[in-house]
Amino acid sequence: MWDAFHINSVDEGPDGRLLISARNMWAIYDVTKKSGKVRYQIGGKKSDFTFGPNADFYWQHDARFRPGNRISMFDDGCCDLPDGAPEQRSHGLILSLDFRSHRAKAVKTYYHQPPLESPTQGNTQALSNGNEFIGWGQSPYYSEYAGAGNTEANASWNLLYDAKLPGSDISYRAFRNKWIGTPSYPPSAAARSDGGHSVVHASWNGSTQTAAWQVLAGSDPDSLSVVVRHAPRSGFETAVTTPTPGPYFKVRALDAKGRVIGDSRVVKLSG
Mean predicted lDDT score pLDDT of the chain: 94
User: What DSSP line would sit under the chain, residue for residue?
Assistant: ---SS-EEEEEE-GGGEEEEEEGGGTEEEEEETTT--EEEEEESTT-S-EE-TT---SS-EEEEEETTTEEEEEE----STTTPPPSS--EEEEEEEETTTTEEEEEEEEE-SS----SS--EEEE-TTS-EEEE-TTSSEEEEE-TT---STTTTTTEEEEEE-STT---S-----------SS--EEEEEEETTEEEEEEE-TT-SS--EEEEEEEEETTEEEEEEEEEE--SSEEEEEES---SEEEEEEE-TTS-EEEEPPPEE-B-
Do 126 and 33 reside in the same domain of the chain? yes
Domain with 256 in it: what CATH number? Answer: 2.60.40.10
Asked if residue 91 has pLDDT above 70, the reply is yes
So what's the pLDDT on residue 120? 94
Asked if residue 53 has pLDDT above 60, the reply is yes
Distance, in Å, from the CA atom of 259 to the CA atom of 264, rounded to the nearest integer, reads 15
Asked if residue 57 has pLDDT above 80, the reply is yes
Of 164, 199, 219, the last residue of a domain is 164
Asked if residue 248 has pLDDT above 80, the reply is yes
Q: What is the pLDDT of residues 203-240, one digit of tens each?
A: 999 999 999 999 999 999 999 999 999 999 999 999 99
Residue 180 belongs to some domain of the structure: no
Q: What is the pLDDT of residues 141-154, one digit of tens each?
A: 999 999 776 766 56
So what's the pLDDT on residue 81? 66
So what's the pLDDT on residue 155? 56
Region 125-137: mean pLDDT is: 96
Task: Identify which of 193, 208, 183, 180 has the alpha carbon closest to the alpha carbon of residue 263.
Answer: 183
Residue 182 belongs to some domain of the structure: no
Do 203 and 159 reside in the same domain of the chain? no
Q: What is the pTM of this model?
A: 0.76
So what's the pLDDT on residue 83? 74
The number of folded domains in the chain is 2
Owning domain of residue 42: 7-164
Do 160 and 198 reside in the same domain of the chain? no
Do 160 and 192 reside in the same domain of the chain? no
